[in-house]
Structure 1
Amino acid sequence: MTAPMLGYPRGSVGRRMSPEYVRLRPDTTAAEALAAVRRDGRDAATVHVLPVADDTLVCTGSVTLGDVATAEPGVRVGDLVADAPTVTATTDAEVAARLCVEYRTAAVVVTDSERRVLGVLTVDTAARILEDAEDEDAARAGGSEPLRRPYLSTPVGTLVRSRVVWLLVLAVSAVLTVQVLEIFEDTLSAVVTLALFIPLLTGTGGNTGSQAATTVTRALAVGDVRTRDLGRVLFREVRVGAFMGALLGTLGFVVAGLVYDWHLGLVIGATLLAVCTIAAAVGGVMPLCAKAIGVDPAVFSTPFISTFCDATGLIVYFTIASAILDI
């Protein structure tokens, strides 16, 4: 029974469903349904959810074993059909798994494009799918690929391959930061103290962007937001970033002003406000853009966003410094 399942797209629920199930016809009585469960249930993936379909396998719904067992023996199964979720075999496995968990059902019926029953996705399989998806997101957020096997049994060469691609991408993107420093070399030479605050500003921007990206990626995964919500997410993250930037900027202004100079304090405060706002906006929007073009949002991982925010933050920093300090 494995060969037909391999014909479905990689990552689809068709690859993860079980073709073993107990099918009931709408005109089957509750007593006959229980007899069918006793007869065929041993080989089925689950008997807690029973697809209901006619002789052409067109799905009309599903019933739970509990509803069948507590019904009068002569009641027809068609009268017990509940409003339960179904998915097509080409549906993304993670989407189907979350649907199963959301409805708190023991299984989701899988059909073809013409609603013919093909199999069921059990809650146990759904849980494994979600666990694999979370492992993948966690690995990519850290700039590597998931191992798919226990760490200690993974060859060193596999570990290297899972990390080196991301390191190369990040190394190339980090060149942007070096280019920015070269452009503002004269500014740094004029006020050497500016260099002392670079780690603070780039680190704050990277962390702010990573927090926003992680939050939105998680919201996408659980269905809290959709790509059509990009405008709302952007507006919300701009406000969050501005609020955090105002708090950190005020603190930076006071500390830098007391220790060094109030003009420098103003530079640090204004930069923190701008950097936090930009980083939160970018970090929040990137996962949605990735989803819109069919790319895994986790690809826009924390290291990538940090590097992007580093270069952008330095441009903002030196631009503000040049204006306020009249360099």
Structure 2
Amino acid sequence: MTDTTASQQSDSALRDASRLATGVIENVEEVIVGHHEAIEHIVTALLGRGHVLLEDVPGVGKTMVARSVAASVDGEFKRVQFTPDLLPTDVTGVNVYNQKTQEFEFRPGPIFANVVLGDEINRAPPKTQSALLEAMEEGQVSADGTTREIPQPFTVIATQNTVEQHKAYDLPMAELDRFMTKLRLGYPEADEETAMLGEVVGNHPIEALEPVATLEELQAAREAVAGVTVEEPIRAYATRLAAYTREHARLGVSPRGSINLLRAAQGRAVLDGRDYVVPDDVQTEAPVVLPHRIRTDSSDQTAEQLVTAALDRVAVE
């Protein structure tokens, strides 16, 4: 294969990935009114092989956004309703004795899907939440000494409420760090809410939503995004941003966070039709990729404010 042919194939793959991203965004917006920026962030995470955490008050559309993204990809979708009595094996699966064969058989849990919605994830105790850790990081599940691969592509979209905290559990940092992006949807604008009410008072549009991408196309798009160029100055810039958070917080951004930042930036570049990352890509994704990994020393400054300060003060060289 000549360099010219390889370049043409790469350009074609990037165009296909960009079209897929745009198609998924437009498809989700057939159901979700407003929240365009949040939907873009979710799609960049999807392209960047990441997982998404949606955190907000009840009723603003977190679950519907997740369902709409899942419905836009023609893969297997599973939903897990996290509750206080949910067991780890309810998520990962369990070995069951078959009396006919007199052998134990593994029954896969809902984690064995391409898109998994973890609804109200903070309602389950930490032991159950930890069942997601290996799957989210390594794409596999270990049970009774056997490791099983999860179908690819694989993405977890989890939701959690910010009210009734006395009835919920804090997500451990090890789990939070595995989410590429953490988003808050917020309340819609008045005109957006009015438009939404006009769409859902009859049959809900989610019921008519059709996939716009196959699993093969999504996997190809992810591979194209992984090949997006990230030059050394961009990598150094991401490193300096992470270092700033470590110097000014009790717990700063981990190396995994830096990796996720650049992967999200690669997804953003493809969404904008480029095969290389620019500083704007990093700056656009940093506010949703970095704060949930940070614990500040003082109540006077939130993690979001610290990331804003880092973006203001860390130079692009």
Higher strand share: 2
TM-score, normalising length from structure 2?
Answer: 0.23
Q: Could you say which structure has the larger radius of gyration?
A: 1
Structure number with greater CO (CA < 8 Å, separation at least 6) is: 2
